[in-house]
Amino acid sequence: MIQTVEQEREWWDAADPTTEVWGIGTWEEGVVGCRHAILPALELADPASRARILDLGVGIGRLAIPFADAFPLATVWGVDVSESMATRCRNAAGHRVWALAGDGRTIPLGDNFLDAAYSDALFQHLPYDATKGYLAELARCLRPGGRLRFQHV
């Protein structure tokens, strides 16, 4: 188990998101299924939504970019512990996703800022203190009535 922020960052900076993952296929093959699982839980059905949405553990933007395309009036933020992943997301997304590198424990957004947040395939990789920190930060950043969807195996 990865125990420090530095180990997390090093692992994700070296990760190749185009390879097969855990015997279930490539990251690309899972994007559509993840989108179909996340959207109903966030109750974001209106393409004209001006929601502020966070992808925690944005990686290279495989979910954030399609969400930004599906909701062109929304603002999609992404936070990742890896600067190289956040940079790849920014390069691929252009102005569609605001991808930030974080410290692996906090979310650099304001209180009650977000309408919705999601995280897919992140928390099982993190030590307890990181998960605890991120959940507290999500509670702080989500507006009252905001939606959170996360997956943890």
Quick: pLDDT tens for 134-149: 999 999 999 998 888 8
Number of H helices, E strands in the chain: 5, 5
Angle CA 111–101–96, to nearest 5: 80
Residue 115: C-alpha distances to residues 8, 23, 143 (Å): 28, 34, 6
Pairing of strands 114-119, 97-101: unpaired
pTM of the predicted protein model: 0.78
How much of the chain, in percent, has pLDDT values that exceed 70? Answer: 70
CA dist 98 and 45 (Å) reads 21
How much of the chain, in percent, has pLDDT values that exceed 90? Answer: 31
